[in-house]
């Protein structure tokens, strides 16, 4: 992608409405634009990041056997009356009427709809277990949206819903998502810690919030320090291994970790002083087992092996990709801008032409871009007629992980420079191998996830 032809409205100054660093940087780097309180447009660069986050989530969901579908944003009030939540949800639900004055709503979540889909089409215990998920825009009319896309009214959510014959099977479905989330957040470059959490109005008795530590987080959290050094489950994880998954979940819940709502001061005080972490955190995922809370009133049943109807056990599992983007920035930035993990970077590498119009430099840059693109790398080519300083500043602000800097002096001496965004390391390399080295760096960084 040539930057001179791209739409990248970066800002030198920080817009005054932005309080936290992720919001400031998302505006400055041209990722988003506010359209209304708690409602944002995703600009081209921001959308690239959002799509990469979605893709990682999707791959890890699919790995567990979950199936993607897509439910609508607009739902009928009828469905919500069945579960009793139409009244219970309160003013946070955006209620609308269509031309026939039928009561509709912009979905804040999809338990009712997915349950309705399930009960219509799944009739036998042989259809279980089943996990259906989608990545769709939600709307919750928050009293006070803030912090950009961190707490917005319209936001993207991956929500998965599991259906099982009994509690034991549901527990395994829960564990699949638990382990999947650990892998997902690790691939997104985040250190997530599963914490005991309130189940809230959604109900149920088994629930974990996945928290990343950040000073600007909205939740107060307490946990054992060792969690920060835990290794995420490997790609070879067998999601059908019931005992194996349970062992992983047990390990990740063996030490103390809780949000303030579930905080047990006595248990926390039992931790060695130097192992206590009392911090603020951002909730990036939340998983629930809630049994028959919806399947019961909505009569989601299948026929069991004995021919008798069984009400299915359900769980729901959410990740907010739009919030995750902000969370990644909170966890990974410096004074110059965003430091994207390669896995979610809008472009994995950039070629920076320091003298656009100089035939030799232009030619070398074109070769570099061609080599990187041929290797399947997302490349941003800065071919703008700007000064070097402005180009460096832009690349750092938008956080491109690997920057291949080509200037006329280097071209003459047969060299170019590689700059690594994280840490700022720079190295000069011969022109004939420099692109290959960037390819290796990007490829390795992808694998680390």
Partner RNA sequence: CGGGGUAUAGCUCAGCCUGGUAGAGCGCUUGCUUUGGGAGCAAGAAGUCGGGAGUUCGAAUCUCUCUGCCCCGACCA
Q: Least distance in Å: CB of 100 to RNA?
A: 27
Binding residue for RNA, selected from 397, 400, 434, 435, defined by CB under 7 A: 397
CA distance 206 to 313: 12
CA distance 363 to 371: 12
**Residue span binding RNA (CB under 7 A) among the ranges 43-51, 175-183, 249-257, 381-389:** 381-389
By the rule CB under 7 A, 222 interacts with RNA: no
Nearer Cβ to RNA (17/98): 17
Task: Tell me: cis bond preceding 129? Omega within 30 of 0 counts.
Answer: yes
Nearer Cβ to RNA (17/226): 17
Residues 280 and 216 sit within 8 Å (Cβ to Cβ): yes
By the rule CB under 7 A, 183 interacts with RNA: no
Binding residue for RNA, selected from 30, 321, 399, 407, defined by CB under 7 A: 407
By the rule CB under 7 A, 54 interacts with RNA: no
Nearer Cβ to RNA (110/301): 110
């790609």: which residue's tokens? 235
Nearer Cβ to RNA (180/301): 180
Residues 427 and 418 sit within 8 Å (Cβ to Cβ): yes
CA distance 446 to 121: 40
CA distance 213 to 286: 15
By the rule CB under 7 A, 377 interacts with RNA: no
Nearer Cβ to RNA (197/312): 197
Query: How many Cα atoms sit within 13 Å of 411 on the Cβ side?
Result: 20
Q: Least distance in Å: CB of 29 to RNA?
A: 8
Binding residue for RNA, selected from 1, 30, 38, 185, defined by CB under 7 A: 38
Binding residue for RNA, selected from 2, 4, 14, 41, defined by CB under 7 A: 14
By the rule CB under 7 A, 4 interacts with RNA: no
By the rule CB under 7 A, 335 interacts with RNA: no
**Residue span binding RNA (CB under 7 A) among the ranges 28-36, 55-63, 326-334, 437-445:** 28-36
By the rule CB under 7 A, 390 interacts with RNA: yes
CA distance 311 to 300: 6
Binding residue for RNA, selected from 145, 189, 232, 327, defined by CB under 7 A: 145
CA distance 411 to 362: 10
Q: Least distance in Å: CB of 225 to RNA?
A: 25
Nearer Cβ to RNA (199/246): 199
Q: Least distance in Å: CB of 426 to RNA?
A: 7
By the rule CB under 7 A, 409 interacts with RNA: yes
Angle between helices 167-187 and 242-252 (to 10 degrees): 60
Binding residue for RNA, selected from 166, 296, 336, 437, defined by CB under 7 A: 336
Nearer Cβ to RNA (177/397): 397
Angle between helices 431-448 and 359-374 (to 10 degrees): 30
**Residue span binding RNA (CB under 7 A) among the ranges 34-42, 114-122, 186-194, 431-439:** 34-42
Q: How many residues does the chain have?
A: 449
Residues 320 and 8 sit within 8 Å (Cβ to Cβ): no
Binding residue for RNA, selected from 5, 126, 144, 308, defined by CB under 7 A: 144
Nearer Cβ to RNA (362/417): 417
By the rule CB under 7 A, 341 interacts with RNA: no
Q: Least distance in Å: CB of 145 to RNA?
A: 6
Start-to-end CA span in the chain (Å): 25
Q: Least distance in Å: CB of 326 to RNA?
A: 13
Binding residue for RNA, selected from 1, 49, 50, 197, defined by CB under 7 A: 197
**Residue span binding RNA (CB under 7 A) among the ranges 71-79, 137-145, 248-256, 342-350:** 137-145
Residues 416 and 410 sit within 8 Å (Cβ to Cβ): yes
Binding site for RNA (CB under 7 A): 10-17, 19, 28, 34, 36-38, 92, 108-110, 138, 140, 142-147, 151, 157, 159, 197-202, 209, 218, 283, 286, 318, 336, 354-355, 387-390, 392-394, 396-397, 405-410, 416-417, 419, 426
């Amino acid at each position: 992608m040539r930057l001179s032809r791209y739409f990248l409205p970066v800002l030198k100054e920080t817009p005054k409405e932005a309080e936290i660093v992720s919001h400031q940087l998302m505006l400055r780097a041209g990722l988003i634009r506010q359209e209304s309180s708690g409602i944002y447009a995703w600009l081209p660069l921001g959308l690239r990041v959002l799509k990469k986050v979605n893709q990682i989530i999707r791959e890890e969901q699919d790995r567990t056997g979950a199936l993607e579908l897509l439910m609508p944003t607009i739902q009928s009030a009828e469905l919500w009356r069945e579960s009793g939540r139409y009244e219970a949800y309160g003013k946070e639900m955006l209620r609308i009427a269509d031309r026939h004055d039928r009561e509709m709503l912009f979905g804040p979540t999809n338990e009712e709809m997915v349950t309705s889909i399930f009960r219509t089409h799944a009739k036998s215990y042989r259809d279980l277990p089943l996990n259906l998920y989608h990545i769709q825009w939600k709307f919750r009319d928050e009293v006070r949206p803030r912090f950009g896309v961190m707490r917005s009214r319209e936001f993207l959510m991956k929500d998965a819903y599991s259906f099982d014959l009994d509690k034991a099977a549901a527990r395994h479905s829960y564990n699949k998502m638990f382990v999947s989330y650990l892998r997902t957040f690790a691939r997104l470059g985040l250190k997530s810690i599963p914490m005991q959490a309130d189940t809230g109005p959604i109900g149920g008795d088994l629930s974990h919030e996945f928290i990343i530590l950040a000073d600007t987080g909205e939740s107060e959290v307490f946990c054992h320090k060792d969690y920060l050094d835990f290794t995420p489950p490997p790609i070879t994880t067998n999601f059908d291994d019931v005992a194996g998954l349970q062992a992983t979940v047990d390990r990740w819940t063996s030490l103390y970790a809780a949000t303030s709502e579930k905080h047990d001061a006595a248990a926390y005080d039992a931790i060695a002083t130097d192992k206590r972490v009392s911090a603020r955190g951002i909730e990036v995922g939340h998983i629930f087992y809630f049994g028959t809370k919806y399947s019961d009133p909505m009569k989601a049943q299948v026929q069991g092996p004995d021919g008798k109807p069984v009400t299915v056990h359900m769980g729901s599992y959410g990740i907010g990709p739009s919030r995750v983007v902000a969370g990644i920035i909170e966890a990974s930035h410096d004074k110059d801008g965003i430091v994207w993990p390669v896995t979610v970077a809008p472009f994995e590498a950039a070629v920076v032409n320091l003298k656009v119009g100089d035939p030799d430099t232009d030619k070398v840059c074109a070769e570099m871009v061609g080599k990187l693109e041929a290797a399947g790398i997302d490349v941003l080519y800065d071919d703008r007629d700007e000064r070097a300083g402005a180009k460096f500043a832009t690349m750092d602000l938008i956080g491109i992980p690997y920057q291949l800097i080509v200037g006329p002096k280097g071209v003459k001496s047969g060299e170019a420079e590689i700059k690594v965004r994280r840490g700022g390391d720079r190295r000069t390399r011969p022109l004939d191998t420099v692109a290959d080295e960037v390819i290796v760096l990007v490829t390795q960084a992808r694998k680390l996830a």
